[in-house]
Structure 1
Amino acid sequence: MSMKKAHIESNDSDRLFSSEKVDAILAGAMQEFLTNGYAATTMDRVTAAAGVSKTTVYSYFQDKEGLFAALIEKLAQEKCFLVHNGEFLQGEPRIVLRRLATNILDQIEQEPEFLSLIRLIIGESGRFPLLAKTFVYNIDKQALQRLSQYFTEHSELKLPDPEVAARIFMGTVVHFIIIQYMLHSQDILPMERDRLIDNLINLITINLSQTTSTNQYSGTRQKSPRRRRTTSGKFQMDYSSEPKQLRSIRLTDTAWEQLAELAEKNNLTRSEMIEIFAREGFSSNRTHS
């Protein structure tokens, strides 16, 4: 083996060993922070929990504050990976948003350690506001920025303020986590998670259901049940922007007027008259009481 190759393999081994040491230190720090709280945790305790020397700990982290920040950054990479993964945000908005909300709640339910850390940060935020800011910067801010960007890119949602929409979405999920999992209020304010997710998604995507729909048989836009009239009483066209070939297959204004008159004469709505025509056919002598 050449000296150069041996040197490269030695560096790779050192990097692997260093990574394992860092992981051990962070795991020990997590254990101590959750067990004793931030204030009572010392670097000596972390050293003992990690099973490494104090020199090793200080060679990677200068102080407890830096160690805690590194722990939050590591969690951000693990927990927010899916938000930053382009493939995770691919698909129809309703599917993507359901995937996102479900993933967040699954993490909370399946990883109680993460929930305990959030509880610790909130509890210590009064005395150590920098801890809370570190968490918000690395996790909340990153998630909100990515979600706001997603809403901005999907103009079909017609959200007036994507940044506010991102806060509404994430805020609803976070409030659910606080009430259900942190404040133990499932029996006081019961709410099924699927019900919450369904209605949250409906709220964010409501404009999708209000956009122009397509008739599966004719390929034309469904006409509004109530059409405006001009001052002379004639119906106004609501399809001026459509291609001519689509416009030509619509009922004419005259036909709509006649249908309205016939419906009024028989004390029916236009929809009811259309249903009768479709079911029984048209007869000029037909009367309806």
Structure 2
Amino acid sequence: LREENGYIINYEYGKTKEVIYDYDEIEARLCNRINRIRSIDTANFNYFNYQFELYHQDISIFNDIRRNIKQEQLSTDEKVKLQQYLRNTKLDDVRQFLGSLDYVFTYYRHATGRPTTSTLKESVKALIHNTSHLHSYILNEKQPFANIQLKYVINLYELIEELVFDEVMKNYVKQELTTDVCVNEEEKENIIGQFIRSTYMLDNIPQQLKDPRVWLSVLKRLIIRVITANIDLNVPMQIYIERTDLWNEDLTQYLDLINITDNVLVRHTYVILEGIEAKSTQNY
């Protein structure tokens, strides 16, 4: 007994194994918290997509879709028509359309047994219960995209992806890819030359890979899908160029022929891209 305040110290306090819950207090606190939670209108919920799932080709959404839905290339005329339409479209709409395709692709990666002639609109309605957050280009038959068949869906995505890079992302490329990548102009030209000689100027390279535009497309995909994520930029580019998900399906059979020198690194990607574009412009 402590004389100064008249209470007894219980040295056994806290040693018991019993737990006594004050359920009334718990209920009151939970009710108070729940009452503060905002109600969510799922019908009008704005979804956002996880990017950079393409970090490794073994989990690439593109390879999964190709396994389930045989893919083909759009005709040249169809590509030109769609490109022209997209260039006359607001960039915000193009970006939102691409984002909606990202979301749709997460369903396509598990879609087995879908007929390749099924359209974008038909397949989305069959696979996705809530489509209110998708861009109107996917479901609106008045637009040229809703009726595109599933066998062309990856080619369509790549078409839009390249436009987004040219019109938007090109202005926001990582500083590590644009500033002080090479010591001087001589090193820069040397790196570009090594890449070109190892790729579309290679003597035994198939005719399909001799077109610089093929390589420009692959380099853009490499920047968008891989380099935008937080990866080591000081590794040989060859490691990523070998990834099948960066290539059109009809070209993957030739990847074993490509052997880019080890001193051409991932951080040189944008410099090489600009170099090939400049040389292509001079040749036309």
Larger Rg belongs to: 1
With CA pairs under 8 Å and 6+ residues apart, which has the higher RCO, 1 or 2? 2
Give the TM bin, normalised by the shorter chain. under 0.3
Question: Normalization by structure 1: what TM-score?
Answer: 0.26
Between structures 1 and 2, the one with greater helix share: 1
